Amino acid sequence: MSFPEQVKAVIFDVDGVVVNSELIFLNSATRYLERHGVHPKLPQLTRFLGKSEAYAAMTVANEMLEGRVTPEEAREGIYGEGCGYEELGHLDPMPGLPEFLSWMRRNDMPAAIATSGTAARVDLVVGGAGCLDAFDVIATVDDTGVCKPDPAIFNVAAERLEQQGIARSHMIAVEDSANGIASAKGAGLYTVGFTGSGIPQDVSQADVVVASFAELQALIER
């Protein structure tokens, strides 16, 4: 898919794009597995990024720990109190994002969110980063009941932008995970792989890859 001749809206993932929150999960999951005698390699955990807590907990319990714990116990051990998630409401936005969002606003370019997280989590994380008001459209798992890589969440965000008169061919999606990229492409969106979080992930299926929002802005402006 070629880069849109004119970009009129941008749809953002949250974790790893709006805020660098994925390290919290990676560190918590690593600690939990190590307490149970398993020493995971990074790709074994990054495959969960963009998916739901329930899916990650079920896979950790049934596959990685071979049924020695229940999915409920795994979920509590990875996501429960004291696992580091109290930091979520105090994270800074990704470097360069506030400037990019301001540039979008000056150019009358709507910004949207498409996340496998809940609306409450968006309020906590994006609100805590101080940029919730910059987003005109927010689509979450609450709208769809299914997580990425299913395209439903990106379809909801794109449909809401279409209601504002923007054609899908003039939208781009920004994603940092393989699951998110599959979701965005499944919704028919030109997809930008974002590597600014510094967490190695497979972005090979993206239409283009950028390491910063300044680089993305330059692509849109050229």
Question: Per residue in 172-184, pLDDT tens?
Answer: 999 999 999 999 9
Q: Of the candidates 64, 87, 110, which is a domain's last residue? A: 87
Residue 45 is assigned to a structural domain of this protein:
yes
Q: Are residues 14 and 63 in the same domain?
A: no
Residue 184 belongs to domain spanning: 9-20+91-221
Residue 180 is assigned to a structural domain of this protein:
yes
Give the pLDDT confidence score for residue 104 in this predicted structure.
98
Give the pLDDT confidence score for residue 123 in this predicted structure.
96
Residue 163 is assigned to a structural domain of this protein:
yes
Residue 72 is assigned to a structural domain of this protein:
yes
Q: Are residues 139 and 209 in the same domain?
A: yes
Residue 4 is assigned to a structural domain of this protein:
no
Q: What is the total count of domains within the chain?
A: 2
Give the pLDDT confidence score for residue 63 in this predicted structure.
97
Give the pLDDT confidence score for residue 52 in this predicted structure.
84
Instruction: Report residues of the chain scoring pLDDT below 70.
Output: none
φ, ψ (nearest 5 deg) of residue 101: -65, -40
Give the pLDDT confidence score for residue 1 in this predicted structure.
87
Q: Which residues contact 145 (CB under 8 A, 6 or more apart)?
A: none
Are residues 95 and 31 in contact, defined by beta-carbon separation less than 8 angstroms?
no
Q: Rounded to two decimals, what is the model's pTM?
A: 0.91
Q: Of the candidates 87, 102, 121, which is a domain's last residue? A: 87
Q: Are residues 57 and 70 in the same domain?
A: yes
Q: Are residues 143 and 173 in the same domain?
A: yes
Q: Are residues 111 and 49 in the same domain?
A: no
Give the N- to C-terminal CA distance of the chain in Å, as an integer: 17
Answer positive or negative: Cα dihedral of 47, 95, 123, 89: positive
Q: Of the candidates 41, 59, 87, which is a domain's last residue? A: 87
Give the pLDDT confidence score for residue 50 in this predicted structure.
83
Are residues 161 and 128 in contact, defined by beta-carbon separation less than 8 angstroms?
no
CA 16 to CA 116: how far, in whole Å? 12
Q: Are residues 99 and 193 in the same domain?
A: yes
Residue 2 is assigned to a structural domain of this protein:
no
Q: Are residues 78 and 184 in the same domain?
A: no
Q: Are residues 58 and 135 in the same domain?
A: no
